[in-house]
Copies of this chain bind each other. A is one copy, B any other.
Amino acid sequence: MCCIDTPKKIFGKLYQSVYFCGVMTKAERTRHFIVEKAAPIINKKGMAGTSINDIVEATRLTKGSVYGNFESKDEICLEAFDYLAKRVGADIVMAMSRANSNKDKLFALFEYYLAVVSQENTYGCPLLNFGTEADDTNPIVKQKVNKAILATENLIAKVVRSGIEAGEFKRSFDPETFSIKAFAMIEGGMWIARLQGNNKQLQIILDSLKQEIDDYCQ
């Protein structure tokens, strides 16, 4: 589904890299390009902490060019969150799809988070970063994060449910409780890992979740 565009020289500047679809118009591709470059910066420095100039520098475009494709900084932030959330969601589904049993799907989810937290240029979970900033300031982002939380929890609950139906897990394994608990532990654990600068506590948290799953296996 993806294709690579030849980098274009405009006014002597090299400014585009990878596009997701060749049938996009120029404007759509540039919009996507801007979001792609802005998203990690916003995830790192926050919405309030990121200036248009940061985005201009990262894209190597100009302010007029950025505002030719977006109404406002706010719109860029919204699309940046959507982009990051969609990517995380896709990566999780991908990681889980490779596992065969439902237990292994849950374990794959844990491994994904463990891998992502130590990755360079990732700057932590976008749900946590955007969520904590938005909860008292930006109701639109807040609602988007809220939906993403519920979606992730539902994903976990669904796996547990199909594990029960497949006879893999005991019937006493409560999908809703576990999904809520596991998600809170993962987000809390990733937050701690980033602040501590290591995965020690996150590892303990994920091991504890794995233990709980094993206890519910039959």
Within 8 A of B (CB), among A18-47: 44-46
A interface residue count range (under 10 / 10 to 19 / 20 to 34 / 35 or more): 35 or more
CA distance A208 to B46 in the complex (A): 33
Question: Contacts A48-B46, A186-B188 given: A181-B195 contact, CB under 8 Å?
Answer: no
Stretch in contact with the other chain, from A5-13, A66-74, A85-93, A135-143: A135-143
Q: A146: shortest Cβ distance to chain B, in Å?
A: 5
Assess the A194–B46 pair: CB atoms within 8 A.
no
Within 8 A of B (CB), among A172-190: 176-177, 180-181, 183-189
Q: Which residues of B contact A142 (CB under 8 A)?
A: 195
CA distance A63 to B142 in the complex (A): 32
Q: Which residue of B lies closest to A204 (CB)?
A: B180
CA distance A176 to B131 in the complex (A): 28
Number of copies: 2
CA distance A208 to B208 in the complex (A): 14
Assess the B44–A136 pair: CB atoms within 8 A.
yes
Assess the B180–A44 pair: CB atoms within 8 A.
no
Q: A41: shortest Cβ distance to chain B, in Å?
A: 10
Assess the B195–A177 pair: CB atoms within 8 A.
no
Question: Contacts A132-B132, A188-B188 given: A49-B137 contact, CB under 8 Å?
Answer: yes
Assess the A192–B149 pair: CB atoms within 8 A.
yes
Stretch in contact with the other chain, from A76-84, A100-108, A122-130: A122-130
Within 8 A of B (CB), among A144-197: 145-146, 149, 176-177, 180-181, 183-189, 191-192, 194-196
Q: A85: shortest Cβ distance to chain B, in Å?
A: 13
17 further contact pairs, Cβ within 8 A, besides A129-B132, A188-B188? A46-B133, A48-B49, A49-B133, A49-B137, A124-B135, A128-B132, A142-B195, A145-B195, A149-B192, A149-B195, A177-B204, A180-B204, A184-B184, A184-B185, A184-B188, A184-B192, A187-B191
